[in-house]
Structure 1
Amino acid sequence: MAIQLDHLMVPARDKLRSAKLLAELLDVPWSATGIGPFAPVYVNDGLTLDFDQWGEPFPLIHYCFRVSPEEFEAILGRIRAAGIDYRSAVHGPVDHQVDREHGGSIVYWNEPDGHQWELLTESYARRD
Structure 2
Amino acid sequence: MGIELNHTIVWSSDKDRSAQFVAEILGLPEPGSFGRFRVLELGNGVSLDFADRQGPIAPQHYAFLVSDDEFDAIFARIKDRGIRFWADPGQQQPGQINHRFGGRGVYFEGPDGHDLEALTAPYSGAEA
Q: Provide the TM-score with structure 1 as the length reference.
A: 0.90
d(CA) in 1 for partners of 2:125, 2:63: 13
Alignment partner, residue 27 of structure 1: 27
Structure 2: unaligned runs, 5 residues or longer: none
What is the correspondence of 1:28-107 to structure 2 with a 5 Å cutoff? Answer: 28-31=28-31, 34-93=33-92, 95-107=94-106
> Secondary structure at the residue paired with 1:122?
coil
Alignment partner, residue 116 of structure 2: 117
d(CA) in 1 for partners of 2:91, 2:33: 36
d(CA) in 1 for partners of 2:51, 2:108: 20
d(CA) in 2 for partners of 1:94, 1:67: 21
> Secondary structure at the residue paired with 1:44?
coil
d(CA) in 1 for partners of 2:33, 2:63: 23
Q: Sequence identity of aligned pairs in percent?
A: 37
CA deviations on 1:65-105 (whole Å, 9 max, x unpaired) are 11111111111111111221101111024622111143210
Q: Provide the TM-score with structure 2 as the length reference.
A: 0.90
Structure 1: unaligned runs, 5 residues or longer: none
Alignment partner, residue 3 of structure 1: 3
Q: Is the 8 A contact 2:97 2:104 kept in 1?
A: yes
d(CA) in 1 for partners of 2:46, 2:53: 21
